[in-house]
Amino acid sequence: MYIATADVKTYLGISGSGDDALISALVSAAQSAVDAYFRRTFEASADATRYFDAVADVRGRTLMLGDDLCSITSVTNGNGNLVTGYVTEPRNTAPYYALTIKSNVAENWTYSSYPENAITVVGKWAYSTTAPAGIVHLTKWLAAVMYKSKDNVLVAGESGIAAAVDILAGDVPPDIRIIMSSVPRRVVI
């Protein structure tokens, strides 16, 4: 989680524990809304495994990842070989969106029996291992806004996350808009 229940309580000046469960749920909803708005996950603390198609996800010597990857543990080609001769795209900073096999490496992205799910990448799938400070503040602010409006009735069929995304897309205070403009939304192709 980008923030804890205690962070929102401090932000709102709440000392009692009567609304802790509600605030905890709003923290989760706010984080989900921030992720949905920016089309990315901002924090990963544990490795996860993703599988890629050796044909559909490959452009020449480049494996397109589809999501942000901030830390790589291992890459296994479709033939079972561990891939170590690659560069990340972008080259010098995470999050990565692709892996390119170096030109001096004889191997290409490949598969043994079938291309689907042939390539395995293990790593932390997010923008960063810890959410940027601006995203932490934005999530805290959004959870607080949601708490302050907890007694308002949602539009029929609208979820709390959808309502929170609508808040982010609408009029927000200038300091929040500055934070939002400093973080790029992930482009979905």
The 10s digit of each residue's pLDDT in 128-184 is 999 999 999 999 999 999 898 876 645 444 556 677 777 777 777 888 878 888 877
Q: How far apart are CA 147 and CA 18, in angstroms?
A: 13
Q: Give residue 189's pLDDT.
A: 54
Q: How far apart are CA 184 and CA 121, in angstroms?
A: 24
Backbone angles phi, psi at 40, to 5 degrees: -160, 160
Q: Give residue 59's pLDDT.
A: 97
Q: Give residue 149's pLDDT.
A: 83
| Nearest to 177, CA basis, from 68, 37, 41 | 37
- pTM for the complete prediction? 0.84
Q: Give residue 150's pLDDT.
A: 76
| Nearest to 136, CA basis, from 24, 9, 20, 1 | 1
Q: Give residue 148's pLDDT.
A: 86
Q: Assess whether pLDDT exceeds 90 at residue 14.
A: yes
Whether the CB-CB separation of 127 and 41 falls below 8 Å is answered with yes
Whether the CB-CB separation of 146 and 27 falls below 8 Å is answered with no
Per-residue pLDDT band for 188 (boundaries 50, 70, 90) equals low
**Per-residue CA distances from 115 to 53, 66, 88, 101, 177 (Å):** 5, 17, 22, 17, 43
Q: Give residue 123's pLDDT.
A: 98
pLDDT in tens, 71-129: 999 999 999 999 999 999 999 999 999 999 999 999 999 999 999 999 999 999 999 99
